[in-house]
A and B are shown apart, each in its own frame.
Chain A
Amino acid sequence: MKSYEEINRRIEAKKAVVLTAEEVIEYVEKKGIEEAAKEVDVVTTATFGAMCSSGCFLNFGHSTPRIRITEAWLDDVLLYSGIAAVDAYLGATQLRHNDPANMDYPGAFKFGGGHVIEKLVAGKPVQLFALSYGTDDYPRRELRTYITIHDLNQAIMVNPRNCYQNYNVAVNAGERPIYTYLGLLKPGLKNASYSSAGQLSPLLNDPYYETIGIGTAVWLAGARGHVYAEGTQFSSLCERGPNDVPMEGAGTLALTADMKKMHPKWVRGVSLVGYGVSLALGIGIPIPILNPQILKRTTVKDSEIYAPVVDYSQDYPNRTGKILGRVSYAELKSGEITVQGKRVPTSSMSSYAYALEIAEILKDEIRRGEFLLSPPLERLPLGKSMKPLPIRGRSQ
């Protein structure tokens, strides 16, 4: 048994033993759980993929004369301005003004909120256009200027939902190609698309949220950030395997960090043909090895993690709940799965290669004593499920 304080003292002394969630598998196989739990202080987990529920709060500073912004655009992408005078929220999936979307099907969605966030983090200039109705104390009614992230007082990423614990494998059992947030799915089960880092993914290594909770320090695109709440659609009550690992979506995390400290490599605008725009983020989360049980959970491997195969032509849009089977991440990563007796080639929307890189970077930061762990202030809710939205009339 170790405490957070003991582990942090070892990190500060640059003596912490840190392994990635991939390395720890073999390490424990060799040393055994009890022995390894004494030695290992931290296991680093990571993921890189499209996370639509992401965005940032920005404060532009005050112009002369002042403006109380009611509508604003960055590079023609609409911001939410229903907060204080020069504060705004920029969301990842916001389309650019006049984007034809799917009117010209399938839409290309070349540029949107995610791309503006990418430009900001890369330090590139973006155009701010803002309108107001004018007040006695904020008389300006319009402004157009160019800003970079360095000009802003704050640029704080606040993401209501990141790091889905597990995810669907999307296929198309229909008769025409469909364009989804998991990419182009060819008809007749000709390809399958998944989106998880599997054995490296944070919440798959801590299936019951024993160490990852509200207040946990995370590595968000190179900046030190935190879990500030359960993620939206958090659903800890889900089907789980014998190893307690969810076999469907399950838990999610709400994350925040200072965007000024992020690295552009890990903050990337995403264009999904026929679907829309989004933002891909790189996230790393350290798991403190407080006891052998926590270590055991981090040794979960791709062959022991299962994802449901879902038909996105019918069952997903209509919420039938039907699945076509379950496949392991070992199968998914091999490049081919079998669905209803048919061999189906696979590809991913999340990057295992980048996740691996992030797990290594976080490992190095902890070894160098630069990244301390923070114990959760509050545990994420167990026994929580996700409610659907009933469509009803006023009197019902």
Chain B
Amino acid sequence: MNTTKKVLFYFPKSETEKPIVYQLVKDYNLMVNIFRAKVTPDEEGYLLLDITGDSSDIDRAYQWIRSLGVQIREDVKGMRWDENGCTSCGACITQCPTAALHIPDRRTMRVWFEADKCIECMNCITLCPFGACSSQF
């Protein structure tokens, strides 16, 4: 049974020499979809991605990743939408490629953010006139 997980790999300083993504694909049979990454030598970094594969393969991959000293965080959402900062103007709606930001009810016209659909393109962060969207890292 294939499952998909949105996950953040956090690299403490200087643990970034191994080609992690390559090995996730080759050795652990995982499909990888990278949303955001910042991997710089001698600095801490991160990789925010979707991984899809057999859950036992994911477990094995996690073990290997942890053995490299890389931290795994499944609860992290890079993009943050501040419900109170959002005025529901809707300026973001046509700029969000996956409709993570959308208007569920066209009668009340309230904007809503569905974090699971977000691919971290960060269009909304630049374009929200009210600064309601921000990034945690």
Contacts and interface: CB of A to CB of B under 8 A. Distances in A.
A119 to B, nearest CB: 13
A49 B93 contact: no
A351 B106 contact: no
Given A347-B94, A348-B90, A350-B89, A272 B129 contact: yes
B89 A349 contact: yes
Contact of B103 (A186, A190, A335, A356): A335
Contact of A184 (B89, B90, B127): B127
A348 B89 contact: yes
A334 B89 contact: no
B111 A353 contact: yes
Nearest to A271: B129
Contact of B92 (A273, A346, A347): A347
Interface string A312-344: 000000000000000000000111000000000
A193 B111 contact: no
Nearest to A195: B89
Given A347-B90, A351-B87, A353-B88, A334 B127 contact: no
A108 interface: yes
Interface residues of A, number: 34
B73 interface: no
B35 to A, nearest CB: 21
Contacts of A49: 89
Contacts of B95: 183-184, 191, 347
Contacts of A350: 89
A352 interface: yes
Contacts of A351: 87-90, 109
B94 A346 contact: yes
Nearest to A110: B131
Contacts, number: 78
A348 B92 CA distance: 9
A264 B61 CA distance: 49
B39 to A, nearest CB: 26
Contacts of A354: 87-89
Interface string A265-305: 00011111100001010000000000000000000000000
B103 to A, nearest CB: 7
A345 B130 contact: no
B82 to A, nearest CB: 12
Nearest to A115: B131
Interface of A: 48-50, 108, 110, 183-184, 186, 190-193, 268-273, 278, 280, 333-335, 345-354, 356
17 contacts: A192-B94, A270-B130, A271-B129, A273-B126, A273-B127, A278-B129, A345-B93, A347-B91, A347-B92, A347-B94, A347-B95, A348-B89, A349-B129, A351-B109, A353-B109, A356-B108, A356-B109
Given A280-B89, A347-B91, 13 more contacts: A49-B89, A183-B91, A184-B95, A268-B130, A269-B130, A333-B109, A335-B93, A335-B103, A346-B93, A347-B92, A349-B91, A351-B109, A354-B89
A-B pairs, top 4 by smallest CB distance, nearest first, are A353-B88, A191-B94, A352-B109, A347-B93
